[in-house]
Amino acid sequence: MVSGPSASRAVRIPRAAAREGPGVRPTAAPGPIAPGDSAPVNRRPNRAGTRRAVRLSSLFVLGVAALFTAFALYARTVPGGDSPGALQALEIFAAFAVAIAVGGAVLALASAPRAVEFRPRGTVVIGRFGRRRVFPGVSELTVRLVRRYPSGFLSEGAVDAVEVVGGRARGTYLLEEGILEITYHDRPRAEG
């Protein structure tokens, strides 16, 4: 038996951190939390607004693709449609169609944030592409209803297009109905 400093000791082998499953998402946003903001975060995902934006952008891309296909087929059937100059013009037209489709899809998706977080020191709107927009607390926000979209093909739930104003921060978003309380109406509400 060996004794002394050369005796075998239990060695701790560090293991890799447990990874989250594909369907598991943290309730709080990753990243550092500002001092004084350590209280629990009330995070409300924007499911209906996201569905509406994704389906609307998909319809837009399909529409642009259908128009491009129709114009390309027509351009090939006219006299001289097979010439090198016509093919080069068709390639340029295709590049414009792709740019318009991508730009429109990004614009439609950017209007629907992923979630809204209510923190003790403010309200944070988490954009589609990760941008975090900080507004004052809910009591200091003015939320104006721009348009209400009823549930239907584009979204199973009603979606509000709202303008959020708080201090110097301002933004227009497609939010699931009820995420933010509407504080300002352009028209009087219908009673009944």
Q: Is there a domain that residue 169 lies in?
A: yes
The pLDDT, as a whole number, for residue 22 is 41
Chain-centroid distance of CA 175 in Å reads: 10
Q: Is there a domain that residue 156 lies in?
A: yes
Sign of CA dihedral 152, 155, 161, 166: positive
Structural domain span for residue 123: 42-192
The pLDDT, as a whole number, for residue 75 is 85
| Per-residue pLDDT in tens (0 to 9) along the chain, 192 residues | 556 655 566 666 665 544 443 433 333 443 344 544 555 578 899 999 999 999 999 999 999 999 999 988 888 888 877 788 888 888 899 999 999 999 999 999 999 999 999 888 888 899 988 889 888 888 888 888 889 999 988 988 899 999 998 888 889 999 998 888 877 655 545 444
Distances (CA, A) of 105 to 53, 59, 112, 125, 139: 9, 9, 12, 20, 33
Q: Is there a domain that residue 37 lies in?
A: no
Q: Is there a domain that residue 77 lies in?
A: yes
Q: With contact defined as beta carbons under 8 Å apart, do 117 and 37 qualify?
A: no
Q: Is there a domain that residue 21 lies in?
A: no
Give the span between the Cα atoms of 18 and 8, in whole angstroms: 29
The pLDDT, as a whole number, for residue 33 is 42
Q: How many domains does the chain have?
A: 1
Main-chain dihedrals φ then ψ at residue 27, nearest 5 degrees: -80, -25
pTM for the complete prediction? 0.68
